[in-house]
Amino acid sequence: MTDKNPFSRRQFLAATSGVMGAAKLYGQGAAGEATPAAKLALQGGPKAVQGGLPQLVRWGQPERERMNALIDQTNLFYWKGPQTTLLIDRFRQTCPLEHVMTCSSGTAALHIAVAAAGIEPGDEVITSPISDIGTVIGVIYQQAVPVFADLGRNTYNLDPEDVARRITPKTKAIIAVHLAGNPCDMHALKTLADQHNLVLIEDCAQAWGAKFRDKPIGTVGHIGCFSLQAAKHVTSGEGGVVASNDPRFGPLLQRFGDKGMDRLAKGGLFEVFATNYRMSEPQAGFAAAQLTRVEGIAEKRSRLGNLLNDKIASTPGIEPHQVHPDDRSTYWFLMFRVRPESFKCERAEFVKALVAEGVPASAGYIPVPLYGNPVFQKHGFFAGRWPLKEQGLTTMDYAQVACPEAEAILKTGVRVTIHEGMGEAYVLSLATAVRKVATHYAH
C-alpha cells in the first residue's frame, strides 16, 4: 500500500528548506556526514542540536468529545457500553481481529492471553529477557515457567535459532515481544510454533501501528496483546486490548478478563477461574479517541526513526537499530549500540556527551535482563517462595540463566527518544550530534 503525500507544495518547500538549513547549521555535508574537528558541547563547543526537545501534544478535541459524551451516559460499565463498543470498532480498523477484549492494562492483556491459551502449571513459555516484567507476570501467576531466549544483535528481538534450542516437551507457548515497535521475525517464530504445536502470543505493547511485511502487528500470531499505558503511542492512562482470530482462544478472552463469567451465556455461572481485568467506559472513550491518531503517529515515527538510522548507519563504531526493509517499525524508542573497542571513552561518557549536545539520549533500557532481577534470582514470586519449584514441577534456576547477547545489548545500547512531535531538521541534528561525538572519541 502506498502512503499518500499529506504535504502541499508550500509545505514541502518549507520542510525541505528547513532540512537544508539544519544541515548547514550543524555542519552536515552533502553526503550527510558531519564536518570533522567540531568541539564537543561538553567541552564548551556549540551544541549540535539547537533548542529543546520538541513538544508533543497528545490529546485535544477528539478526546474532549468522548469525555463530554460520557456525561450523558447512565452507566460507565464496559459491557456493551457505547465507548467500549466504539473502541473495539476502531481497534478492528487498525488490527482486524474478530475477538476483542478491552482490559485494564497491557499486563492484564498478556495474562488473559496466557490463561486463554490453556497454559498449565509447569508449562514453559519462551520469551524475551529484555522487556517489561508485565510480559511474564501472567505466566508466573498461571504457575508456568518463563524461559528466556537470547536476542538478535541489533533487532533486540527474539533470535529464532535460540528459541528453537530452548524448546522442550514442556514448552507450550512463545511470547514474541516487538521491542520498541520493531517487528520480530514472525515468519520464523510462527514456523517454530506450528512445528511444535505451540501458541504464539504477540506482545505489541510498544508496537502500535507497526507492520510485519504488510500485516499489522498482532495479527500474525494466535493472540495479540496491546498496552494503553501513559507512555505508549496511544493511551488512556492505563489500559489494554487483547484480541484473536483463533476460534480456540478468541471466545475465551472475555471471560478470562471478566472474573470467568461468559456474559453471552445464560445463568450467570462462572465457567473458569479468572480475575477482574475490565476496562471502564471513561478509559475506553479516551482510548477510542486516541485510536484516530494511530496511523499518523505510526507513519511519522517510522519515517523519522528510519531517517536517524540511515544517517548514523555508516558512522564507525556505531551499530544502528536493525529493521527489516519490508517491515514498519514505529520506534517507541530508537536504540543503537556502541562498539567499546572503537572509542576512547566508556558508554556513560559517550551518552553524557550526547546529552550535552542536546540529544534526548540515555544509556541502555532496563538495568538488567528480567532474570537478573532479585525476585527471579531468589525465585521469590509468592511471599518469597516459588511453590512450583519446591514441588519439583520445574528445575528452572534463574541464577544460572544467561543470554549473552541480551546482556551485551544492555551494556552497549544507547536509547534515543523519537516521537511524532519532531521534525526532519531536528532529527538530522540528532544524527549530526551522534557523528560528532563518535568522531571525537574514535580511536
CA–CA separation, 323 vs 172, rounded Å?
A: 28
CA–CA separation, 357 vs 352, rounded Å?
A: 9
The catalytic position among 190, 211, 232, 436 is: 232
Q: Which amino acid is at 338?
A: V
CA–CA separation, 98 vs 357, rounded Å?
A: 48
For residue 9, what pLDDT is reported?
A: 38
User: What is the share, in percent, of the chain residues with pLDDT greater than 70?
Assistant: 92
Q: CA nearest 35: which of 397, 420, 324, 439?
A: 439
Q: Say how many Å lie between the first and final Cα of the chain, rounded.
A: 45
pLDDT mean over 171-179: 99
pLDDT mean over 431-442: 98
CA–CA separation, 206 vs 110, rounded Å?
A: 13
Q: CA nearest 179: which of 151, 139, 143?
A: 151
Which residues 6+ apart lie within 8 Å of 198 measured at CB?
Answer: 167, 171, 172, 173, 174, 192
Asked whether residue 20 carries a pLDDT value surpassing 70, the answer given is no
61-292, CATH topology level: Aspartate Aminotransferase; domain 2 (3.40.640)
For residue 307, what pLDDT is reported?
A: 98
Average predicted confidence (pLDDT) for the chain:
93
For residue 8, what pLDDT is reported?
A: 39
Return the SS3 of 93: helix
CB 342 within 8 A of CB 437: no
Return the SS3 of 154: coil
Cell numbers at 271, concatenated: 465457567
Return the SS3 of 215: strand
pLDDT single digits (tens) 242-290:
999 999 999 999 999 999 999 998 788 998 999 999 999 999 999 999 9
Chain-centre distance of CA 149, in angstroms?
17
Classify residue 23 as exposed, middle or buried by CB count within 10 Å of its CB (0-12, 13-18, 19+). middle
Tell if the pTM clears 0.75, that is, is over it: yes
For residue 289, what pLDDT is reported?
A: 98
Cell numbers at 87, concatenated: 473502541
Strand pairing category for 334-338 and 413-416? antiparallel
For residue 13, what pLDDT is reported?
A: 39
CA–CA separation, 26 vs 428, rounded Å?
A: 9
CB 304 within 8 A of CB 245: no
Secondary structure (DSSP) of 14-80: HHHHHHHHHHHHTTB-TTSPBPSSPPPGGGT---SS-S-PPP-----HHHHHHHHHHHT-S---STT
pLDDT single digits (tens) 237-250:
999 999 999 999 99
Asked whether residue 16 carries a pLDDT value surpassing 50, the answer given is no
Q: Which band of pLDDT confidence, cut at 50, 70 and 90, is reported for residue 34?
A: very low
CA–CA separation, 197 vs 218, rounded Å?
A: 19
For residue 60, what pLDDT is reported?
A: 96
Q: Which band of pLDDT confidence, cut at 50, 70 and 90, is reported for residue 38?
A: confident
Q: Which band of pLDDT confidence, cut at 50, 70 and 90, is reported for residue 37?
A: low
Residue bearing the bigger pLDDT, 183 or 269: 183
CB 362 within 8 A of CB 354: no
Cell numbers at 62, concatenated: 477528539
Asked whether residue 12 carries a pLDDT value surpassing 70, the answer given is no
Asked whether residue 406 carries a pLDDT value surpassing 70, the answer given is yes
Q: Which band of pLDDT confidence, cut at 50, 70 and 90, is reported for residue 417?
A: very high
Q: How many CB atoms lie within 10 A of CB 283?
A: 25
Poorest-confidence range of 30-34, 55-59, 153-157, 354-358? 30-34
CB 153 within 8 A of CB 319: yes
Residues in the chain: 443
Cell numbers at 109, concatenated: 492483556
> Residue ranges of the domains in the chain?
61-292
Q: Which band of pLDDT confidence, cut at 50, 70 and 90, is reported for residue 3?
A: very low
pLDDT single digits (tens) 116-147:
999 999 999 999 999 999 999 999 999 999 99
pLDDT mean over 218-247: 98
Q: Cα angle vertex 137, ends 134, 140, to 5°?
A: 160
Grid look-up 548514523 returns: 312
Q: Which band of pLDDT confidence, cut at 50, 70 and 90, is reported for residue 387?
A: very high
Q: Which band of pLDDT confidence, cut at 50, 70 and 90, is reported for residue 17?
A: very low
Return the SS3 of 139: helix
CA–CA separation, 330 vs 48, rounded Å?
A: 25
For residue 2, what pLDDT is reported?
A: 37
Poorest-confidence range of 21-30, 73-82, 136-145, 158-167? 21-30
Return the SS3 of 100: strand
Is 232 considered catalytic here?
yes
